[in-house]
Amino acid sequence: MSGYFENRRICVTGGAGFLGSYVTEKLHKRGCKNILVPTIEEYDLVKLEDIKRMYDKIQPDVVIHLAAVVGGIGANREHPGEFFYKNLMMGVQLIEEARLRGIGKFVAIGTVCAYPKFTPVPFKEEDIWNGYPEETNAPYGLAKKMLLVQSQAYRAEYGFNSIFLLPVNLYGPRDNFNPASSHVIPALIKKCIDAIDQGRDYIECWGTGAASREFIYAEDAAEGILLATEFYNDSEAVNIGSGFEITIKDLVEKIVKLTGFTGQIRWDTSQPDGQPRRCLDTTKAKKYFGLEAKTSFDEGLKKTIEWYKQNK
């Protein structure tokens, strides 16, 4: 422990959320005495006056911006306008106001959805501008990608220390299991456990199962974010991932096996697969701030399933 966080005031937007809960826990373990989490009840970070009020009150030295309006393919298709506007306005105004106040560092969290639909695998950071994102989540991905542009522009013009990280899909205990907005792993775990509990003999899955995804355990992603906060100070975007890829079909079969569901898997091919493949090149994260994902996929899934069983 270097002591970097001990006497700094660290504002974690979204600190009460899924990823945020792991980031704040790890800050505590690093001896951070001032972890400041603006709650959604007190501050609407889409509104500039609320951002100003929040900064006036908590006066942070470092901002880790995790707050986002997010969801799976269904939620992205239903709310493209909302996802674009709210994510853009939150990030852009938080960064601008941080610059005006001379805040020491801003850590902007992007998304793997910012990458072009057809990106060579594994995704390298320099490929991020080589095409348009996958259509179902493009508004969200592009809103987040504008924070990379802003970070780089502000560093160039004002010397403002803002960094931009690109985490892949997260999973783990405390994830969002609401079927209207959850991502694929919690959605599948819930489907299997609920089918067992209700005695149903099949589950239904979207798409063909042919698409692939990479996942990182939320605790490992939180570690990467804090390592970058302490050690990384440059304009280049950096991937946060595990470097591991699995098809949705294999993922479904793995979750079916781990939950003990014995029924049929039905594929609704009228629904989209989303981006064909997702897998990140994680070389730069290891090189710049020593990140290596520690949690094996099977171990992480077992912990997530166990958590859902106990908290459903």
What are the catalytic residues? 140
Nearest CA among 84, 112, 139 for reference residue 245: 112
Burial class for 48, CB neighbours closer than 10 Å (0-12, 13-18, 19+): middle
Strand-pair partners of 31: none
Tally of CB atoms within 10 A around 165: 24
For residue 272, cis peptide bond before it (omega within 30 degrees of 0): no
- The DSSP bridge pattern shows strands 238-240 and 162-167 to be parallel
Burial class from Cβ neighbours inside 10 Å (0-12, 13-18, 19+) for residue 280 reads buried
Contact yes or no for 38/58 (Cβ under 8 A): yes
CB 154 within 8 A of CB 105: no
